[in-house]
Structure 1
């Protein structure tokens, strides 16, 4: 069987040496096949991802014992995960427009003596933040599972790409592939189980964690791909204006009709 090993090794090297398809745009880096309503991200090749947003905490305000407990709990949580995980820290422009509008709307429902205070507080926040470049940090844990490729257990990769490809090819030999529906269900159960482990472990230290649904995932991708535009046009504003529609509507006919006036 030695010849089979060298044959598979040669095939693996050929795959690695094959020139990768050039990425023309930043969107090409995100090979999304589908983002399901519950937040499950499906990629080509039966690959699945799940994004968990983690609430940031200020460890400097906690005692030495609390800090040690948080780090110990984080280490225990990482050791208990059965899928690969990538942590992402994203810095965004902090837009308080929606927050201030919601604050004013809720203030109008309060009793008169609280309403005046809430409005004055809202006006002060708007004055203090207007024209300033405020930043907001978001922390994410991206859980990954390649359901169709279990050559390397749990998707764990080594530092040698050639070895990773070789082990994957060897493991796929003679393996029966499950239907896509079953793979998707298996991936969903595994990833959400891992997400519950994260939420439960961090919750014991009063650190919030939640799984992003479809709209929240798209909002995160929108802020990632449009770092210059996102501070001025939020995901909601862009959606309302039809920026993501496959059938854009032009205002040119309406402008022309208004310019012609009564001559039409």
Structure 2
């Protein structure tokens, strides 16, 4: 009887040991499988994030028109306005009434995009440097000090400017030319209405669209794809080996 109990004990201990080893091997295999799947998913997600086509669902950009998948087209307007608080009370009331009238009169949807962009002082700096040689000595020193100040602002990127954009949509299967004509017709009526509300709007060209997309993907940077395109360093927009200018 004692011998039988001893053998049962040994068998139970052996089974426990085998169960523990099997559980360890199973967990190891499961972790390796999950790790592989996670790395594969991260790689796929990373490639998607780097692909503008997947990120913004953009198929192409031509003649300032953003072409989305599914025969969808978009035109982007940059909107600027006078400083509201510098207007008189009567002018403020008139601007508010006209803006309300614009919104009530819309016959198509409009998307509003607000963004803060790092202040780009390069053009102002270049203009000051160009004109400084022709200025009197005292004013020239002041202009050069201004250049240093603006260059420091550019390097620190501490100053941002708010920008407003309106995105006008149009969906059609009739192609780019038809969509572009309709988009500009809509933009024209909208720009006329905004002008009465003390606001100006202008359509972005292809370079402007690329600059906006670059800003949205690279916050705080002042580098512009349009400038690189003008200097022949790169094409403005490339998707699946197809380029547009």
Give the match for residue 62 of structure 2.
36
Give 3-state SS (helix, strand or coil) of 1:208's partner: strand
Contact 1:84 1:145 in 2 (8 A): no
Distance change (3 Å), C-alpha of 1:44 and 1:106: farther
Specify every segment of 5 or more residues in structure 2 that has no aligned partner in the other structure, as ranges: 1-43, 239-245
Give 3-state SS (helix, strand or coil) of 1:35's partner: strand
Contact 2:95 2:196 in 1 (8 A): no
In structure 1, distance between residues paired with 2:206 and 2:157:
31
In structure 2, distance between residues paired with 1:75 and 1:86:
16
In structure 2, distance between residues paired with 1:44 and 1:245:
16
For these two proteins, the number of residue pairs brought into alignment is: 188
Contact 2:153 2:159 in 1 (8 A): no
- Once the 2 structures are TM-superposed, how far is the Cα of residue 207 of structure 1 from its aligned partner? 2.2
Counterpart of 1:201 (choices 193, 197, 201) is 193
Counterpart of 1:69 (choices 94, 110, 117) is 94
TM-score with structure 2 setting the length: 0.64
In structure 2, distance between residues paired with 1:203 and 1:186:
26
Contact 2:78 2:204 in 1 (8 A): yes
Larger Rg: 2
Higher relative contact order by CA 8 Å / sep ≥ 6: 1 or 2?
Answer: 1
In structure 2, distance between residues paired with 1:201 and 1:244:
32
Counterpart of 2:122 (choices 91, 97, 100) is 97
Which is richer in helix? 2
Contact 1:199 1:208 in 2 (8 A): yes
Give 3-state SS (helix, strand or coil) of 2:58's partner: coil
> 4+ runs of 1 displaced by more than 6 Å?
243-246
Counterpart of 1:134 (choices 149, 152, 159) is 159
Which is richer in strand? 2
In structure 2, distance between residues paired with 1:236 and 1:206:
29
- Once the 2 structures are TM-superposed, how far is the Cα of residue 145 of structure 1 from its aligned partner? 1.2
Counterpart of 2:208 (choices 208, 211, 216) is 216
Give the match for residue 256 of structure 1.
none
Contact 2:99 2:197 in 1 (8 A): no
Give the match for residue 182 of structure 2.
190
Give the match for residue 225 of structure 2.
235
Give the match for residue 75 of structure 2.
50
Give the match for residue 25 of structure 1.
49
TM-score with structure 1 setting the length: 0.60
Which deviations, in whole Å up to 9, do the C-alpha atoms of 1:77-106 show, x marking residues without a partner? 223333210111111111313331233224
Structure 1 vs Structure 2 CA RMSD: 3.0
- Once the 2 structures are TM-superposed, how far is the Cα of residue 118 of structure 1 from its aligned partner? 3.8
Give 3-state SS (helix, strand or coil) of 1:95's partner: coil
Give 3-state SS (helix, strand or coil) of 2:115's partner: strand
In structure 2, distance between residues paired with 1:144 and 1:29:
18
